[in-house]
Chain A
Amino acid sequence: MVGIVSYGSYVPYRRLKRAAIGQTLGIPAGKGERAVASFDEDSVSMAVEATRDALRTAPGVQIGALLFATTTPPYAEKLNAALVGAAARLPLEIRAADLTGSVRAGLGALIQGADAARGGVGALVAMADCRLAAPEAKSEQAGGDAAAAFVLGSESVIAEIEATASMTREFLDTWRTPGERFPHSWEERFTLTQAYGPLLGKAIQSVLTKAKVAPSQLAKVILDAPNPRAADEIVRGMKLDPAQLGDTLALTVGQTGAAHPGVLLANALAAAKPGDRILLVAAGDGADAVLLRVTDAAAAYRQPRSVGRLIESKGDVAYATYLKWREILPTEPPRRPDPARPAGPPMFRSETWKFGFVGTRCTKCGTPQLPPQRICIHCSTRDQMEPYPFADRPARIATFTLDRLAFSLNPPTVNVVVDYEGGGRFLCEMTDCAPEKVAIGDEVEMTFRRMYTAGGVHNYFWKARPKR
């Protein structure tokens, strides 16, 4: 049996109220809010967060394939998946690929991951997107930023992949050339009536026929359709009961591009019971359909950081601040030097530290320390260190400051000295917090972030954040 062994998801902390967009721009506003990646997040960093959660609940699975799906890769050339793999401390011997170009890359990656698992290779599939659209675009309000990740394998499967079907056809729907920041899209009526309607229908029909399953046998149908009207037509065509439909998270998160089928599936799996059949459908230059059957093993599986919990954990961002974060609204640069581009060889030497947040522990006196040391800070013993991971260790704030002078897209920069449970101390930035509420003794956890970009190089490293 091949299928999902574990899952993780990530909804960033920040929310942008659609009313705030409407009010600022003087245009009609949709209901609810959308999730917004913070100024220090991107598709890679969000994928890392989801991946860490997925791996935490899949102990012992050998990962031999890593697939990263996104339409917003931080690097146009350079393997973005390698960054995800380094932060998640995946092994060296691994096949890896970025899947991009269409929002359908997300579900496509899941199907390819299942194929790898079927071939005996455990797969990690991460999907993330930072949906960016021009101010006033419909998709500016409808879009959202999020990530999801799945471990696929053939043992301890919690959701078996029973069948898949994919339709690919050339037509002009949504496009963006290299160098463009915002996508264009063709008239909805054309894509709905001529392309998505028929293609989604065919994909669904195909996958159900392959598995010999009737629509009425589906416990949940997750339709990641390009627009609500397309979804309505399918629901009518399949004569589905509204109770069979999953929440599209339109009001709380928004449509999260390549990540969306994954986020919706993670959300559905949290509530699924053994025996449930879930149909997952996504559109984008064609359509993919995946039929899953929740197994008995699912009863014992639990992902503590659920989509629901992440949706609840949130803080607002003003629309003007969001425009600054995305550099849509240019601002006066600070009278401080530009940050320096991180250098290749030092990053290469410190890969497990910089990307994996692995410090050292002295085997002589047992003192954990970070960054990695050769000579123990406690007992001065030389070269008796063992690797010691800190990324998942709980920590508390020993002292802190709010730096209003440092360069940041989101001042003030909160700097914290954190003490880890079991030993080790680190001075780092804190993110996703209300600066005025930071206090000595607060519990924090580590999160992988994009610190800044300089000279075309994204500088990824770790920050602390309040426990989510």
Chain B
Amino acid sequence: MASNGIKDRVAIVGMGCTQFGEHWDKGPDDLLIDAAYEAYASAGVDPKDVDAYWLGTMGQFSGLALSVPLKIPYKPVTHVENYCATGSESLRQACYAVASGAYDIAMAIGVEKLKDSGFSGLVVSDPPNDGTLGNMTAPASFSLLAPAYFKKYGLDADHGKDVLSRIAWKNHRNGAKNPKAQFRKEVPLETIKNSPKVADPLGIMDCSGVSDGSAAAIVVRAEDAHKFTKHPIFIKALSFVAGPGEGPLAQDYDFTTFREVVASAKDAYHQAGVTDPRAQISMAEVHDCFTPTELVLYEDLGFSPRGTAWKDVMDGFFDLDGTLPVNPDGGLKSFGHPIGASGLRMMYEMWLQLRGEAGPRQIENPTLGLTHNLGGMPGRCVSFVSIVGR
């Protein structure tokens, strides 16, 4: 019994990513077609050469949601769903299928069209139930982290808010340099700190946006990678865990960590042979759905020792020009969070950075990148961690 991983057995040889934002003129089918064809072109493959597909999106029942708009002729198309980590899950399945030898070329693709619902924030509907499940929104459930973290590490409310604001400020600053981001403007710290409250102490500027988008990756066996591109990126680790949901059940959970993230990070580092993530990881795309999430992730991913991430934030450790840039593309904060697409959008930034194609955001000579994707709420979630490198 072990999680062995597939280090260096699979490579990504092409990617596509739409602009994220309010696509009033495009439906989910349009976004899928745009991302898929960008990925085909990027890898230099003809659509008919792709052997199997994994589609990540919410609330669809089948692969027909992809095979019909793309006119995929009689091939395996699998729909996957794993909360907000859905996009990463589609990539993980495609990679394992290729690593197994079952297929030569596979595509992972994710899409979400959130702006058509007309609702504020994310809407998830439960199956018929007894009415005891509660009515808590995503910002509220993640805001539970903030007072718990502040109290545990002795930050007063104002100081804590400064730390959270700086995380949003950093991500917007990075997003300002990214043509595919939903929000491409720097936002002053004071604006962030004083934004209208959504779920105390979180203001609207502590939350990721609501957007539409799609992203796709084409994966092949590592030994075939150079047939498609000069600069493939290689899968070093793929880890996914679902927790038993202890947070809202057991008194020993203190809302300053995601145990699922700790477990998936440990697994991923083991698969990739990473022993000192703070030193070895060149850059990371993490699930900054809300600012306190990113703060806690720094510690859960082993980037900062417990209780010190807030200092690293204030020191600029995670800035684009810092020691370990986090969310160099602008993160969920700048991109919004079209559920099925986000995990692949994170990987798209790794693709660009590792190939030296990130333009004004380019990090100097990155070797190992990490993506982290999370779904659920503190204490009851799923977590994905990947490590990729040249």
Contact across chains for A369 and B144 when beta carbons are under 8 A apart: no
Minimum CB–CB distance from B210 to chain A (whole Å) comes to 11
- Out of A354, A413, A417, A424, which one reaches B135, CB within 8 Å? A413
**A315 interface residue (CB < 8 Å to B):** no
Encoded as 1 (CB less than 8 Å from any A CB) or 0, chain B from 164 to 182 comes to 0000000000000000000
A-facing residues in B239-290 (Cβ within 8 Å):
244-246, 248-251, 253-255
Query: Closest B-chain residue to A346, C-beta based?
Result: B130
Among residues of A, the one whose C-beta sits closest to the C-beta of B245 is A377
**Whole-angstrom distance from the CB of B378 to the nearest CB of chain A?**
9
B interface, size bucket: 35 or more
Q: How long is the Cα–Cα vector from A38 to B115 in the complex, in angstroms?
A: 35
Q: Is the pair B255, A419 in contact by a Cβ cutoff of 8 Å?
A: no
Are A405 and B130 CB-contacts (below 8 A) given A399-B148, A400-B147, A425-B249? no
Least distance between A430 CB and chain B CB atoms (Å): 12
Stretch from A197-205, A240-248, A268-276, A334-342 contacting the other chain: A334-342
Q: Which one of B32-40, B118-126, B296-304, B315-323 is at the interface?
A: B118-126
Q: In the assembled complex, which residues on chain B have CB atoms less than 8 Å from the CB atom of A424?
A: 251
User: Is B132's CB under 8 angstroms from A425's CB?
Assistant: no
Is the C-beta of B3 less than 8 angstroms from some C-beta in chain A? Answer: no
- Is B143 in contact with chain A by the CB < 8 A criterion? yes
Within 8 Å of chain B (Cβ to Cβ): is A213?
A: no
Cβ-defined contact, A346 with B135, below 8 A: no
Q: Which residues of B contact A461 (CB under 8 A)?
A: 131-132
Complex Cα–Cα for A146 and B250 (A): 36
Task: Decide: B128 and A404 in contact? CB cutoff 8 A.
Answer: no
Which of A337, A340, A399 has the most CB atoms of chain B within a 10 A radius of its CB?
A399
Contact A337 to B123, CB < 8 A, known contacts A349-B130, A400-B144: yes
Of B13-21, B194-202, B213-221, the segment with at least 4 beta carbons within 8 Å of chain A is B194-202
Q: Is A353 engaged at the interface, CB distance under 8 Å to the other chain?
A: yes
Question: Are B121 and A459 in touch, CB under 8 angstroms?
Answer: no
CB-based contact A403/B199 at 8 Å = yes
Q: Tell me the bound Cα distance from A407 to B147 in angstroms.
A: 23
**A183 interfacial by beta-carbon distance below 8 Å:** no
* Contact partners of B148 in chain A: CB under 8 A: 398-399, 440
Residue of A nearest to B140 (CB): A403
Partner of B251, one of A354, A425, A428: A425
Which 7 pairs of residues, A with B, have the shortest CB-CB distance? A342-B131, A403-B140, A343-B128, A346-B130, A459-B131, A427-B248, A402-B200
B residues contacting A by CB (< 8 A) are 118-121, 123, 125-126, 128-132, 134-137, 139-141, 143-144, 147-148, 151, 197-200, 244-246, 248-251, 253-255
Starting from the known contacts A417-B255, A425-B251, A440-B147, 7 additional A-B residue pairs (CB-CB under 8 Å) come to A340-B131, A353-B130, A398-B251, A398-B254, A401-B143, A413-B136, A425-B250
* CB pairs A–B below 8 angstroms (25 shown): A336-B123, A343-B131, A353-B132, A369-B249, A373-B249, A377-B246, A377-B250, A398-B251, A400-B144, A403-B137, A404-B197, A405-B140, A405-B198, A405-B199, A406-B140, A408-B135, A412-B199, A413-B140, A425-B250, A427-B248, A429-B134, A440-B147, A440-B151, A451-B135, A460-B131
Interface residues of chain A, those whose CB is within 8 Å of chain B, are 334-337, 339-340, 342-343, 345-347, 349-350, 353-354, 367, 369-371, 373, 377-378, 398-408, 412-413, 415, 417, 419, 423-429, 440, 451-452, 459-461
